[in-house]
Amino acid sequence: MKFRKLLFSAATLISVLLLSGCGYNMVVFEPQGPVARSIMELINWSLIWMALVVVVVFGLFGYIVWKYREKPENKDYEPPEEHGSMVLEVIWTAIPILIVIALTIPTVKTLYALEDVPPGYENVKPITIHVTSADWKWIFSYPEQGIETVNYVNIPEDTPIDFKLTSASTMQSFWVPALGGQKYTMGKMETQLYLVADHPGSYFGRNTNFNGRGYAGMEFEVQAQTREDFDQWIKDVKETAPKLTERKYEELLEPTHLGRMTFSNTHLEWVDHADPDSPSYTNPELYRYHGYQGRVFEEEDNYRNKTNDDKNLHEHHVEGDGNGGEHSGH
């Protein structure tokens, strides 16, 4: 029976090694740009050491359990008294420390490297793209080009993209696994991420931080293009795409799933959600689902309080429709 267990463990181990190293095509192991590639190299480095640990411990475990298991012929064997061994204990403290050091050095190096333009691209002028996540869509603004897209983002190949991340609603996470690691988007603050695609292609991106009912579908596409195609696309958009109005934008931020959209201006003209003093674009009444509804509080910095001419004001007014505990606690 022990043997079956051993076999099972060994099979598990082998499958870990096989599947992680090669075989099954996993997006993290098929990087399409220098950022993702540097992370993959770090992961592979760690896999070597971890495989070593697994082999040693599994081997020792299998050997000990097999050799010292109770058998009919050793029923009378009384195990010796042992209290430990200084030498052994020092060894199995020291070796893990060495392994941790071996992992720490490249980890720290990579952590710092990821904050900068990837090596080899320092001389290429980066393109800035503002990413605003909302429930449940991704909004990409190109301030230099003056265009805005929803749920897809086109980038030129071999150009560092300086993504400025923020959120118009909950905390979300921006991830394009083929190009690099993820980072959170948070309202009223800005995080930053450099990504580069080193050849044209379509890459899958999504939110990884749970944010309610529409979370599963909160995906986008990164389309890496040649420089010429990208420039042509920008030109086309500027000529053909409609303008985004403030009203239209407010509608956009309501909790919905949308397809792709393209606009020939950006919402940064009137609001930057990364600004700590920007208004809150929240619509609690649109989040009512089943169950008992509690009291919702009036927020002074809600966007509706600034647009008095908006006739939606009364329809959408947060309080006053008797939606919860009238007897507040204060």
Partner 1 sequence: MGIKWNEILITGDPLILGSQIAILLTMIGIVGGITYLKKWKWLWTEWLTTVDHKKIGIMYIISAVLMFFRGGMDGILMRVQTSRPEMEFLNAQHYNEIFTTHGVIMILFMAMPFLIGFMNLVIPLQIGARDVAFPQLNALSFWLFFCGAMLFNLSFVVGGSPDAGWTSYFPLAGKEFSPGIGNNYYAVALQISGIGTLMTGINFIVTILKMRTKGMTLMRMPMFSWTTFITSIIIVASFPILTVALALMTFDRLYGTHFFTLSGGGLDMLWANLFWLWGHPEVYIVALPAFGIFSEVIATFSRKTLYGYKSMVFSIVGIAILSMVVWVHHFYTMGAGPGVNSIFSITTMMIAVPTGVKMFNWLFTMRKGRIKMTTAMLWALAFVPCFVIGGVTGVMLGMGAADYQYHNTLFLVAHFHYVLIPAVVFAVFAGTYYWWPKMFGHMLNEKIGKWHFWLFVIGFNMTFMPMFFLGLDGAVRRSYTYSVESGYAPLFFVSFIGSIILALGFAAFCYNIYWSVRYADRNIPSDPWDARTLEWATASPVQHYNFAKLPEVKSMDAFWYMKKNNEGLTLKKEELEEIHMPSNSGLPFIMCVVFGISGFFLVFEWHIAAAVAAVGIFAGLIIRSFDYNDGFHVHKEEIEQTESAWRNGEGEVNRYVGKR
Partner 2 sequence: MSANVNTSLPLEYQTEQSRMNILGFWIFLGAEIVLFATLFGVYGVLYERYAGGPTHQDIIMMREVMIQTILLLTSSFTCGLAIFEMRRNNLKGLITWLIITLLLGVGFLFMEVNEFLHYIHEGATMQTSAFLSSFFVLLGTHGLHVTVGIGWAILIIIQLLQRGLTPVTARKTFIIGLYWHFLDVVWIFIFTFVYLKGMVA
153-182 residues near partner 1, rule: CB under 8 A: 169-171, 173, 177, 180-182
The phi, psi pair for 274, rounded to 5°, reads -75, -15
What is the dihedral sign for C-alpha 211, 201, 195, 275? negative
- Provide the mask over 305-324, with x wherever binding to partner 1 is found by CB under 8 A and - wherever it is not: -----------------xxx
- Provide the mask over 267-306, with x wherever binding to partner 1 is found by CB under 8 A and - wherever it is not: ---------x---x-x-xx-xxxxxxxxxxx-xxxx----
- Provide the mask over 243-282, with x wherever binding to partner 2 is found by CB under 8 A and - wherever it is not: ----------------------------------x-----
DSSP 170: S
CB of 159 or CB of 173, closer to partner 1:
173
Stretch that binds partner 2, among 137-145, 160-168, 295-303, 314-322 (CB under 8 A): 295-303
Stretch that binds partner 1, among 73-81, 117-125, 244-252, 258-266 (CB under 8 A): 73-81
Q: Is 319 in the site for partner 2 (CB under 8 A)?
A: no
The phi, psi pair for 181, rounded to 5°, reads -75, 175
Question: How far does Cα 141 stand from its chain's mean position?
Answer: 19
Of 190, 196, 192, 126, nearest in space to 157 by CA: 196
Instruction: Name which of partner 1, partner 2, none residue 55 binds, using a CB cut-off of 5 to 8 Å depending on partner kind.
Output: none
Instruction: Name which of partner 2, partner 1, none residue 74 binds, using a CB cut-off of 5 to 8 Å depending on partner kind.
Output: partner 1
Instruction: Name which of partner 1, partner 2, none residue 240 binds, using a CB cut-off of 5 to 8 Å depending on partner kind.
Output: none
Q: C-beta of 6: minimal distance to partner 1 in Å?
A: 9
The phi, psi pair for 215, rounded to 5°, reads -55, -45
Query: Of 9-38, which residues contact partner 1 (CB under 8 A)?
Result: 9, 12, 15-16, 19-20, 24-29, 36, 38
Q: Is 330 in the site for partner 2 (CB under 8 A)?
A: yes
Q: Rounded to an integer, what distance in angstroms lies between the CA atom of residue 183 and that of residue 171?
A: 10
Q: C-beta of 186: minimal distance to partner 2 in Å?
A: 14
Structure tokens at 306: 């600034």
Q: Rounded to an integer, what distance in angstroms lies between the CA atom of residue 314 and that of residue 322?
A: 14
Size of residue set near partner 2 by CB under 8 A: 5
Q: Let me know the angle formed at the C-alpha of 307 by 301 and 310, rounded to the nearest 5 degrees.
A: 135
Q: Burial letters for 183-222: b for 16+ Cβ neighbours within 10 Å, e otherwise?
A: bbbbbbebbebbbbbbebeebebbbebebeeebeebebbb
Q: Is 326 in the site for partner 2 (CB under 8 A)?
A: no
Q: Rounded to an integer, what distance in angstroms lies between the CA atom of residue 86 and that of residue 313?
A: 75
What is the dihedral sign for C-alpha 243, 251, 190, 155? negative
Considering only 17, 37, 50, 162, the residue that binds partner 1 (CB under 8 A) is 50
- Cα dihedral angle (30, 32, 37, 39), rounded to 10 degrees? -80
Strand, helix or coil for residue 185: strand
Q: Is 297 in the site for partner 2 (CB under 8 A)?
A: yes
Q: Is 115 in the site for partner 2 (CB under 8 A)?
A: no
Instruction: Name which of partner 2, partner 1, none residue 262 binds, using a CB cut-off of 5 to 8 Å depending on partner kind.
Output: none
Contact set with partner 2 (CB under 8 A) = 277, 297, 300-301, 330
